[in-house]
Structure 1
């Protein structure tokens, strides 16, 4: 009979393994020595050790699913319990128990991680839903649309929740997108209608602008073009493809009119500048008549100058007040000279002036006599009072005598 710490072979060739529950028959051996029998069954044991070690490594170093790992463990546990092998089978069973605990621990960790991941995914999806619902009311059509598309991509990258929760959140998310899409569609439909109305309005403005392009009624037509431009701006924009064509036609019609007006105005401005030069020469000639010497000759020369002045025509508007003021100044000077001459030669005025002078002279002579009499009588107060009255009458007499000098 032969034996070792974990098994023995009896005299009949039966092989036993020692366990905590006692010996267990694992086979018989008739082909060789007992030592060879034990070695054979010990190799079977080593095979079990290798299988368990490989499973331990897979569990510890790979993402082996807990369910698959437990199935493999239970298979090995059965294999160990039914093994025809010699060795520390209890140690193998203990290793399988420890591996089961590890898998259970990993399963709980994965469950917790999955729950955390699910909660995070729920939170992320709820945030996406809230943002989508806010964007649903936005009128920033382009940026909001792009953001909603980005939210969809983000949603697709998140883990699924339980079916009920995931469906509820997706329904809200999808509804928000639908609301935005309908609002945007309605907005652009309205915008298209507005642009079509703007196109029709601008077609009418273009037609009127083109009808005015050959007008020579410069002022009213230019004013009407300004009104048409205000109407154009108020009409809003037409469709992009129509807007540019309408504007080119509208602006082209204006350009034809204003180019023609500019050409005419340029010719007129040249003519008016030439007129200004001529009138400056005439006013300089008129100003040489001052101061007036021979009134009759000056009036005749001024009449000739004024006739030529009237024949010249218009001058630039900004120069008109200045040049006309100079001509009017000469005319006023001649009128003043005529009035002075009339006063000097008018018999009635001369007679009234001589009468007034005579009266003042008589009054002055009388006052002098009264003053002498008062002084002679020693009445100084009366003499002083009469002297004050004499001074006033003398001043009037001096003014009258000066005026009489204009009649000589």
Structure 2
């Protein structure tokens, strides 16, 4: 088959959507001809990578058997709602020219966000034939409203949601990464739908292969948040947690990542001796970092329900270490943690005291902590291994 993938995020972005789009493309390229239309890499720093900034508006390269056509899109330093809309439009306009570099097509897979990229997919289908598959990694408009980036009332929200529904209903097939998001997709589209979750390469996130990390103090109980420092996380609560942990002298907290909220969060944490910030590590170092932590954190806002299924949770669980997560009562992350018995999920208000009790329990019971972590790893290997997820997806697209 001739497969076209349109994804704003792609390698060398090595976290989130970029990681999964590249993994999907390279897996399919083992059997099919795969070409990708992508943006110039910028995430999570919200700054175009230096090696790509020197290139022109259009560039092409071949990586691991996949040919990639890129356009250097506008990238706002602070990703406001309007800034993101402008970025989407600019990417669309420039990438439209890359559509005509696709000579043959049997199926075009559009990874959302960006929603407007689906129109590029329709263009590929119109000019080169084949079918259109829209895969939703993030309901970007819902997420913007739920996290407070934009007001849900007004002319612009009405327009973008109508556009979103119109686009979904022009696809032949749609898919998304969690059951909750699949339910949301049912309200937005009449097309045939598939469950296509993110996956974990447990051969690369493997505690048996982890080397000691120089970032951590081995004499301490090390608590880690690693990932995007953005609007979907509850940073006020994170700061409250760091403050409460000052009473436990042998606890050290690490914030590793980049994102739109990084400057203000890091500035707020400067008052605390028990928290250190580091920029993102290379993917090759991620295993050492995840597996040497004693505990993982993910504090999500209660308002974010099922617009997003955080991909970082799979890496946290694959590290065979317990996690403490907050969020909405109906989040699928809660379901995964509770059914696996691989961590602790909190959705009520005034939860800090309960979390501190769990933290003290884990510190005092290292054997039980290890059992919880091993249950988490066993769960993600059984449910979300790269081999089973991508093999099933490949079967699905070959059957359509």
User: For this structure pair, what is the TM-score category when the shorter chain's length is used for normalisation?
Assistant: under 0.3
Which gives a bigger RCO, structure 1 or 2 (Cα 8 Å, sep 6+)?
2
More helix as a share of residues:
1
> Given the two structures, how large is their TM-score scaled by the length of structure 1?
0.15
